[in-house]
Structure 1
Amino acid sequence: MTDQVIWITGASSGIGEACAKKYNSAGWKVILSARNESELKRVQQECPHPEACEILVLDLSQSKEFESKTQKAIQFFGQVDVLLHSGGISQRSLVQDTALEVDRKLMEVNFFGTVGLTKAVLPHFISRKVGTFVVISSLVGKFGTPYRSAYSASKHALHGFFDALRAEQHTHNIQVTLICPGFIRTQVSVNALTGDGTPLQEMDDAQANGMSPEECANKIFKAIKGKKEEVLIGGKETYGVWVKRFFPGLFSKLIRKAKVR
């Protein structure tokens, strides 16, 4: 085992779970966070070195708890080297059908929850003059698609915030890596919020046929090790970033017809 410590939110499933197992297998100490304690215990027991995993139940919508949760996270192993933001919720609803309360919830969890926890951990990184923030954004953090308006907005906002943080904290040796996955085979669409705030409870075809979370975790591991600033992960859907940048008119026409759910 190494002395390196990674704190992962959203560690009870999907990309977060896969990253937890990847880092634990690589000898890192891992702090597992999510709302579901029983699922966190399952992930802990499935890790190659469960004795090097600690569980810290965390709700990203409860920002008042972030300071105390951060202090507890640090106490587990004496430090945190990497904070990997994988917690969040998605959306599957048209703008015209989505209640404003649902938009607010998506921003509260995906943006303000991530930003709030970052601000709680930042003094620890500054005091040690080292640390890495890793943010699981999305390809829709680079472009918007139908059915994901508020989700896309929350991810766009994360890019603006963390690009600024990276520039501000460069002298303190603090790294920021933005991960933009495309279709990854997780439960994200099943748990996605519909217009009235209830879960979709359906698996998108594109999601079901996407990259495995384990392969995604391997790519994330390499990106963090390589101190990459931003990485696109997925299949042909990643080309959308380049099409939008260089051929915005064409992209606008294509995205109207794209099968995104």
Structure 2
Amino acid sequence: MDFHEKVVWITGASAGIGEALAQAFARQGARLVLSARNEAELRRVQAACAPAEALVLPLDLAAPETFAAAVAEVQARFGHVDILINNGGISQRSLALETRLEVDRRLMEVDYFGPVALSKAVLPGMLARRAGRIVVVSSLVGKFGTPYRSAYAAAKHALHGFFDSLRAELYASGVGVTILCPGFIRTGVSVNALTGDGQALGQMDEATAKGLAPADFARQALRVIAQGRDEATIGGRETWGVLLKRLAPGLFARVLRRARVR
């Protein structure tokens, strides 16, 4: 896939993985739609992506009632969407029994229902053109749950179930679905992660601090998207966990039980 002049809509584009993806697509000559809640940060990313054309479109993934108007605005500006990248979300750092139910619901609303609702809003236009790709930024915890991330893992597992099903339903429609599973990426994801009472953790994980640079993730992600792959894990040694769980589930369970570090 040649990304030149392609219209790429990225949620969670104000920082981290989303910002790195925006800059990577900009270098390929794509036209961008940048969405997140923080408009000031989106303007900063827009400037960093110049001279690529970029529409700043603030969006709250927990407010699906606004998505139809957002899609209409994108269509008015660019006519269509070639690639939707569902990247926006919130992580978690709290034990399951210490997490309020409203926090569990918040994580599901933003990390699962938001991407699903936005994809449903964008898909009719893609299907009418018989072209497009839905990209979902999941996580390794979409493949296996880990301590301190129960609701986050649940939301990411749900994404896999929904978008694997959607991919099968869209077979031969001209619209593809790609799921990206990052490992530890050096972003502010842990700083903004929700604790049991819904407050932000406010500090960076050691593992996250040592993770893959966002630009390196973005470079690999664009290659996966260009190849039209269904799914890919991107990260360091932690990605071996997917294979270990498959080949030695008992050993993997013992390893997870010792993983008490946030």
The answer to whether the Cα contact below 8 Å between 2:12 and 2:89 also exists between their aligned partners in 1 is yes
The answer to whether the Cα contact below 8 Å between 1:136 and 1:180 also exists between their aligned partners in 2 is yes
The answer to whether the Cα contact below 8 Å between 1:206 and 1:260 also exists between their aligned partners in 2 is no
Equivalent residue, structure 2, for 1:20: 22
Give the Cα separation in 1 of the matches to 2:74 and 2:16.
22
Give the Cα separation in 2 of the matches to 1:78 and 1:96.
47
Question: What letter matches 1:74 in structure 2?
Answer: Q
**Cα displacement (A) at 1:137:** 0.1
Whether 1:128 aligns to 2:129 is yes
The answer to whether the Cα contact below 8 Å between 2:147 and 2:260 also exists between their aligned partners in 1 is no
Provide Cα deviations, 1:79-132, integer angstroms capped at 9, x if missing partner: 110000110000000011000000000000000000000000010111000110
Give the Cα separation in 1 of the matches to 2:239 and 2:261.
13
Give the Cα separation in 2 of the matches to 1:48 and 1:18.
14
- Unmatched 5+ stretches in structure 2: none
Q: How does 1:1-261 map to 2 (within 5 A)?
A: 2-50=4-52, 52-258=53-259, 260-261=261-262
**Cα displacement (A) at 1:258:** 2.6
Question: What letter matches 1:34 in structure 2?
Answer: A
The answer to whether the Cα contact below 8 Å between 1:25 and 1:49 also exists between their aligned partners in 2 is no
TM-score, normalised on structure 2?
0.97
Give the Cα separation in 1 of the matches to 2:75 and 2:243.
40
Provide Cα deviations, 1:147-176, integer angstroms capped at 9, x if missing partner: 000000000000000000000011211110
Q: Secondary structure at the match of 2:172?
A: helix
TM-score, normalised on structure 1?
0.98
The answer to whether the Cα contact below 8 Å between 2:187 and 2:214 also exists between their aligned partners in 1 is yes
User: Which stretch of the first structure deviates more once superposed, 159-168 or 70-79?
Assistant: 70-79
Q: Secondary structure at the match of 1:170?
A: coil
Q: Which runs of 4+ in 1 moved over 6 A?
A: none
**Cα displacement (A) at 1:181:** 0.3
**Cα displacement (A) at 1:259:** 5.6
Q: Secondary structure at the match of 2:134?
A: strand
Alignment length, in residue pairs?
Answer: 260
Question: What letter matches 1:57 in structure 2?
Answer: P
Question: What letter matches 2:19 in structure 1?
Answer: E
Question: What letter matches 1:7 in structure 2?
Answer: W
Q: Secondary structure at the match of 1:171?
A: coil
Give the Cα separation in 2 of the matches to 1:74 and 1:112.
22
